Structure 1
């Protein structure tokens, strides 16, 4: 693995591009929800993604077989996965893509707090504490945003925040067990185990599983399934294996910025003072948390 200073121009460009793609995902979800129920949309997304990743794993000869213990762990991870994405899609159906993108990017802050208590040796430093504080202040500004007076937006924000808490729990759980898996196993099996429950949820709770299908909805579903859940995963983990998390995480502040930008441009969402303030706090927090002091070589006399 190369270090942070070895990130090439090509790798840097690819990392920025992937962050933009991930940031735009809430906008694609909003488009898909115009014609699909929330549970149905997430079920279709991960059905396509699981098929694409499975084919890629076969081509690359990546082993997928699980032990009995791993199977039990994947069932737990799948249960979290189902609740997490169900909440995320339901929440986005009630709030804006801009709010969804910003709240989703509170994930690293919640993970840091949880890791402090559940991952030995992973404590919160002063720098991390400052970043976490800024991030949560940014979220608080979203809840005082007055662009929707009905309260449905705030309800959607709360549901997405619940999804991010579940997502953070998943990250902590994965950190504890990841050494026993390859990255494809840890990604594809929660999808495979979760898909039947998404469609069951769609049958039971979506007002209509499929209200309409048009080219926009099809493109939005392919974007979520192939561009982010499949290509995004493969490209991100390939970079992660080569350059490490430190190099890549230096760019994740791009995700909330991209989410808000695409929400405004493609969905005509309103830019409010609260939204701008939230962006400033959350992006600043992400940058501070991921700021690394450059190590200077020790001179030998």
Structure 2
């Protein structure tokens, strides 16, 4: 396993992922008007898995460069569950009982969870004071952006389990990135495809058990599900896999600081939602945190 190699392409892909996932919340709200939460997750993952399988087959359907061990195959199954299937379902259930702000802060916490895990489990991802301070500053920017609603109570009887579900989803994303980075040499397209296939095999039966047979959505809803499966699921899963495998899970976790920021900006642009007064300060803190934590990567980028 090589040490992280952060290039200009890495920065571009992380920026694209932040924008893509930041806009996903708006599209998801539209889709939920015509389909239930678990079937929405199963639908977008299933569509993404079918699309990636077609691409993977066209490119030769390769995965490992050498015969995998039983342990590697087991790890692959765990990553498939933790990278999308389990967190999608936890968030779908948990967001019924918590504020949207708390869910946003939970996702931003992924970066803080990944940092100490990577220090012990991923070569080249040492936990330094500068990096830790940068991540804390960026997290503070996210909290300021979301505001007091991040910690407001909904009064729901299942609010505490709902918060635990959201934080557990964040932990799933963190652990899956660490495990993905530790896999042996593997084809990126193949890995992204297999992870979606595993996730589909989990979410579809669970949606059937929890919500019964899938509803027959209208054409508009089907188009939205297809879009979610194509862009923020299939394409984004490939980009995430590439970034984690090349630049490392810590660098990939910077995406989680961008998502709330893009969500607010796109909401203001597309839905005419008011911009919070704290936006400027939040942006300054988030960018300062990213710059401080990735100072070495910035310097190496311009030295190339």
Alignment TM-score > 0.5, same fold: yes
**Separation in structure 2 between the aligned mates of residue 196 and residue 20 of structure 1, nearest angstrom:** 28
How far does the alpha carbon of each residue in 1:111-147 deviate from its partner, in whole angstroms, 9 at most, with x for none? 1121123334532111111123224445656584279
CA contact (8 A) 1:106 1:136 kept: yes
Correspondences of 1:1-301 after superposition (within 5 Å):
7=8, 16-64=15-63, 67=68, 69=70, 70-81=72-83, 82-94=85-97, 100=103, 103-138=106-141, 142=146, 144-145=148-149, 150-151=154-155, 158-177=164-183, 179-206=184-211, 210=214, 213-234=217-238, 245=247, 252=255, 254-266=258-270, 281-292=285-296, 293-294=298-299
CA contact (8 A) 2:56 2:193 kept: no
Distance 1:31 1:268, change over 3 A: farther
| Mean CA deviation greater in 188-197 or 121-130 | 188-197
**Separation in structure 2 between the aligned mates of residue 240 and residue 75 of structure 1, nearest angstrom:** 17
> RMSD across aligned C-alpha pairs, in angstroms?
4.1
**Separation in structure 2 between the aligned mates of residue 90 and residue 49 of structure 1, nearest angstrom:** 22
Number of aligned residues? 287
**Separation in structure 2 between the aligned mates of residue 94 and residue 202 of structure 1, nearest angstrom:** 19
By how many angstroms is 1:85 displaced?
2.0
**Separation in structure 2 between the aligned mates of residue 287 and residue 215 of structure 1, nearest angstrom:** 44
CA contact (8 A) 1:80 1:170 kept: yes
**Separation in structure 2 between the aligned mates of residue 240 and residue 190 of structure 1, nearest angstrom:** 14
| Mean CA deviation greater in 215-224 or 38-47 | 215-224
CA contact (8 A) 1:97 1:260 kept: no
Distance 1:291 1:29, change over 3 A: farther
Distance 1:140 1:254, change over 3 A: closer
TM-score, normalised to structure 2, is 0.73
| Mean CA deviation greater in 29-38 or 260-269 | 260-269
Equivalent position SS for 2:149: coil
By how many angstroms is 1:48 displaced?
0.7
TM-score, normalised to structure 1, is 0.73
